[in-house]
A and B are shown apart, each in its own frame.
Chain A
Amino acid sequence: MADLSVKIGSLTLKNPVIAASGCFGYGLEYASAVDISALGGVAVKGLFLNEREGHAPPRIVETPAGMLNAIGLQGIGVHRFVKEKLPELRRLGVTTIVNVCGSTIDEYCEVTRVLSDAEGVGAIELNISCPNIKEGGIQFGCSLTGTYDVVSAVRKVTSLPLVPKLTPNVTDPASFARASEDAGADAISLVNTFLAMAIDVETRKPKLTNVMGGLSGPAIRPIAVRMVWECRQAVKLPIIGMGGIANATDALEFIIAGADAVQVGTANFVYPTLWTEMIDSINNYLDRHGIARVADLVGKMER
Chain B
Amino acid sequence: MPVDIPAAVIGNTRLTPEYNVLSLAAPGVAAHAAPGQFVMVKTAPGLDPLLRRPFSIFEILRDATGAPVGISLLNKRVGVGTSLLYDARDGDRIDCLGPLGKPFEPVDPPAEAWMVAGGVGLAPFATLAQALAARGTSMTLFYGGRGATDLFHEAFFTGLGAKLVITTEDGSRGERGRVTLPLERALAARAANQPVTMYACGPTPMMRAVADLGATHARPTFVSLEPVMGCGMGGCYSCVVRVARPGGTHFVRSCIEGPVFDAATVVWDALKGGHH
Let me know if A58 and B274 touch, CB within 8 A: yes
Segment with Cβ contacts to B, from A21-29, A110-118, A155-163: A21-29
Asked whether A33 is an interface residue with its Cβ less than 8 Å from the other chain, the reply is: yes
**Smallest Cβ distance from B269 to chain A, in angstroms?**
11
Residues of B within 8 A of A74 (CB): 237, 240, 251
* Contact indicator A60/B230 (Cβ below 8 Å): yes
> How distant is A96 from chain B, measured CB to nearest CB, in Å?
16
User: Which residues of A sit under 8 angstroms from B235, Cβ to Cβ?
Assistant: 23-25, 29-30, 268-269, 272
Q: Tell me if A60 and B2 are in contact (CB < 8 A).
A: no
Q: How many residues of A contact B (CB 8 A)?
A: 35
Specify which chain A residues have a CB less than 8 angstroms from the CB of B153 in the assembled complex. none
Give the residues in chain B near A66, CB-CB below 8 Å: 50
Contact A32 B238 (CB under 8 A): no
Interface residues of B in 206-238 (CB under 8 A from A): 227-228, 230-231, 233-238
**Chain A positions within 8 Å of B237 at CB level:** 22, 25, 45, 54, 59, 71, 74
CA distance A45 to B2 in the complex (A): 22
- B236: nearest residue on chain A (CB-CB)? A269
Residue interface mask B29-70, A partner, CB < 8 A = 1: 000000000000010000111111000000000000000000
Partner among A61, A65, A71 whose Cβ is within 8 Å of the Cβ of B47:
A65
In the complex, whether B108 has a CB less than 8 A from a CB of chain A is: no
- Which A214-248 residues sit within 8 Å CB-CB of chain B? 217-218
Query: Which residues of A have CB within 8 Å of B236?
Result: 22-23, 60, 69, 71, 269
Enumerate chain A residues within 8 angstroms of B1, measured Cβ to Cβ: 32-33
Q: Is the CB of A272 within 8 A of B4?
A: yes
Name which residue of chain B comes closest to A23, CB basis. B235
B256: interface (CB < 8 Å): yes
List A contacts of B52 (CB < 8 A): 269-270
Q: Are B50 and A217 in contact (CB under 8 A)?
A: yes
In-complex Cβ contact of A270 among B50, B238, B270 (8 A): B50
Q: How far apart sit A272 and B96, CA to CA, in the bound complex (Å)?
A: 12
For chain A, what secondary structure do more than half of its interface residues adopt (helix, strand, loop), or is it mixed? loop
User: With a CB–CB cut-off of 8 A, which chain B residues contact A71?
Assistant: 236-238
Cβ of B233 and Cβ of A67 under 8 Å apart? no
By a CB distance below 8 angstroms, the chain B residues around A25 are 233-235, 237
In the bound assembly, the distance between CA atoms of A268 and B40 in angstroms comes to 13
Give Cα A59 to B97, complex, Å: 22
Given A25-B235, A58-B274, are A271 and B48 also a contact pair (CB < 8 Å)?
no
Contact with A29, one of B3, B234, B270 (Cβ below 8 angstroms): B234
B51: chain A residues within 8 A (beta carbon): 62, 67, 269-270
Nearest opposing residue in chain A for B80, CB measure? A62
Question: Which of chain A's residues 7-26 have a Cβ closer than 8 Å to chain B?
Answer: 22-25
> What is the chain A residue whose CB lies nearest that of B79?
A62
Residue of A nearest to B52 (CB): A270
B272 touches A (CB below 8 Å): yes
Give chain B residues whose Cβ lies under 8 Å from the Cβ of A290.
Answer: none
Q: Which residues of A contact B274 (CB under 8 A)?
A: 57-58
**CA of A272 to CA of B256, assembled, Å:** 15
Contacts A29-B235, A268-B235 given; does A65 touch B230 at CB 8 Å: no
**B2→A32 contact, CB < 8 A:** yes
Task: Give chain A residues whose Cβ lies under 8 Å from the Cβ of B230.
Answer: 60, 67, 69, 269
Tell me if A269 and B231 are in contact (CB < 8 A). Answer: yes
Chain A contacts with B in 21-57, Cβ cutoff 8 A: 22-25, 29-30, 32-33, 45, 53-54, 56-57
**Interface residue from A30, A32, A57, A269 paired with B228 (Cβ < 8 Å):** A57
Interface centre among A54, A56, A266, A270 (most CB of B within 10 A): A270
Q: Given A60-B238, A269-B236, does the pair A218, B47 have CB atoms closer than 8 Å?
A: yes
Within 8 A of A (CB), among B151-183: none
A62/B50 in contact, CB under 8 A = yes
- Interface residue A273 (Cβ < 8 Å from any Cβ of B): yes
Q: What residues of chain A have their CB less than 8 Å away from a CB belonging to chain B?
A: 22-25, 29-30, 32-33, 45, 53-54, 56-62, 64-67, 69, 71, 74, 209, 217-218, 266, 268-273
Other A-B pairs beyond A23-B236, A30-B234, 11, CB < 8 Å: A22-B236, A23-B235, A56-B272, A61-B228, A64-B48, A67-B230, A69-B236, A71-B238, A209-B272, A272-B97, A272-B235
Q: Which 8 A-B pairs have the closest CB atoms?
A: A29-B234, A269-B231, A65-B47, A60-B238, A59-B238, A25-B235, A71-B237, A25-B234
